[in-house]
Structure 1
Amino acid sequence: MAAPRNLIGESGRLLRDEESAVAKEDDDSPTGKRPKLERFPFTRWELAGAFGVFFVFSAGLFCIYSTMPAADFRKLKLPRTLSDLRILKDHLASYAKDYPAQFILGYCSTYIFMQTFMIPGTIFMSLLAGALFGVIRGLLLVVFNATAGASSCFFLSKLIGRPLVSWLWPEKLRFFQAEIAKRRDKLLNYMLFLRITPSLPNLFINLACPIVDIPFHIFFLATLIGLIPASYITVRAGLALGDLKSVKDLYDFKTLSVLFLIGFVSICPTLLKKKKIYE
């Protein structure tokens, strides 16, 4: 009878091992209980740091608004549609003319705040710049604000961005890291290509660059120069705001072709160098 008892004992042990293995797989699976806690990317200290930075920026924005000349701000809101933008432009036209310095300060601080904290709607702010200031002044404002906001987002991501980007775009981050590693010798050209063309979203570029160890001076120059073509298109469209039917009309096939052509010119030195190496 010893043999059957041993078999029964062995079977029981194997069954317990299988149950333990299944339980472990359930814990490691997407529907398990533990990943629900691990799914949130930030630690308490990182979350506290993010809220701290947001509070400082918000306090600065509030101080700027509180010192601006009195106006009826009840009808003002961040535009989400072209209709909202047209209404906003009508309300702000006289204010911007009467108080140009204060208005520009408020406009710039709002744009940089939105860009830093990845708040959608900066394209409407760019259209507004064209509608209120014209092409040249509007372009200078947009490029300055977009570069300053992207730089703030860069340093914010350097502080707490790694877990967020790894959580939201793990595959895209690995691809971006591999592409950067292959182009270290001509990094500025590649970054210019990414900024000029819509190959990768600007939001992802702002957050991912410090994670893949792109130097800030490369990031800054590529942003400052690379955003000019797309910003010019958007600011110029603001002049004819009444005729614009959809934001999608800004980037039709012809416009995208021009942007990719400019981007291809920027990356030509990298391609030519690779060709010489292979020869």
Structure 2
Amino acid sequence: MAAQRNLIGDTGRLLNDEETAEDDYSPSGKKPKLERSPLNSWELAAALGVFFVFSAGLFCIYLTMPASEYGKIKLPRTISDLRMLKDNFAAYAEDHPAQFILGYCSTYIFMQTFMIPGTIFMSLLAGALFGVFQGLLLVVFNATAGASSCFFLSKLIGRPLVSWLWPEKLRFFQAEISKRRDKLLNYMLFLRITPTLPNLFINLASPIVDIPFQVFFSATLIGLIPATYITVRAGLALGDLNSVKDLYDFKTLSVLFLIGLVSMFPALLKRKRIYE
């Protein structure tokens, strides 16, 4: 129990860091906003080059769509936008499933790679259009592919960016990873299953703190399933949703944390045996 309290206490401090991150780097926050970009010229050019390649590929895929569908394309920002998008694309997804899935996957991976908000709406859309089982497979595949793409992008240019945005959190995360090297997969599963740390930070920081890609990939593929199931299943009843916040009430968060603690059980059991 002491080990569990220590783990929850550690991750709680990370949550507090995340809650204050926006204030720290806003004009009214404690830390002055830096005027210069943390990326040097080569890193900035590399980031723009990767973005251009992804954007060009996405544009080419959209060109395969009928011209009549172009006006319906819009990234949803609210549940109302999502309902409208679902109505607009329901017939197209049924008549041209391969083209729709290609466009959907490309958009999802693009958003995940470049940290563009809104993937939760894409997950809800998958549930609304394809049902729970197919929607779950589709979202987990895309989320894992996008997170992996973001991992390698961060490996290329992410260190100065993450060090600039979250210096204290990065040092703390590095220390936590160092303490759990022997059961790293269990710890990463806990982070993926629970909302302890944002997926954005995990994707960007993992290569910087030397988490092996196979561990990152496995934890992402498995750990995203519980939360994805909840989101995709909610997509079946868009009419009952008023806000994204309705997805994660206290009961849902408690279940996710319980599943996360179960994933940490082997590591906690081993630590207990060591102290005995």
**TM-score interval w.r.t. the shorter chain?**
0.7 to 0.9
Q: 1:36 to 1:230 in 2, by over 3 A?
A: closer
Correspondence list, 1:19-168, <5 A: 36=34, 39-168=36-165
Distance 2:123 2:69 in 1: 23
- Rounded to whole Å, the distance in 2 between the matches of 1:108 and 1:77 is 15
Aligned counterparts of 2:73 and 2:186: Cα–Cα separation in 1:
41
In the alignment, what sits opposite 1:5?
none
Specify which structure has the bigger relative contact order, considering alpha-carbon pairs within 8 angstroms and separated by 6 or more residues: 2
Q: Distance in 1 between matches of 2:67 and 2:135?
A: 24
Give unmatched runs, 5+ long, in structure 2.
1-30
**Which residue identity does 2:75 align to in structure 1?**
L
State the percentage of identical aligned residues: 84
For 1:77, the aligned partner's letter is K
| Partner residue, 1:255 | 252
Give the length in aligned residue pairs: 246
Q: Matched residue of 1:40: which SS?
A: coil
Alpha-carbon distance in structure 1 between the residues aligned to 2:84 and 2:73: 9
Match of 1:216 among 213, 216, 229: 213
Partners of 2:133 and 2:69 in 1: CA distance: 29
Counterpart code for 1:144: F
Are 1:198 and 2:199 an aligned pair?
A: no
SS of alignment partner, residue 68 of structure 2:
coil
1:67 shift after superposition: 1.8
TM-score by length of 2: 0.87
The two structures have a TM-score, normalised by structure 1, of: 0.86
| Alignment partner, residue 28 of structure 2 | none
Query: Residue type of the partner of 1:62?
Result: F
Q: Secondary structure at the match of 1:237?
A: helix
Q: Are 2:189 and 1:170 aligned?
A: no
- Tell me how far 1:73 sits from its aligned partner: 1.8
Q: Which residue number corresponds to residue 271 of structure 2?
A: 274
Post-superposition offset of 1:72: 2.9
Higher Cα radius of gyration:
1
Structure 1 residue ranges without an equivalent (≥5): 1-29
Query: Displacement of 1:36 after TM fit?
Result: 5.0
CA-based RMSD of the aligned residues comes to 1.2
Q: Distance in 1 between matches of 2:269 and 2:114?
A: 38
Q: Which runs of 4+ in 1 moved over 6 A?
A: none
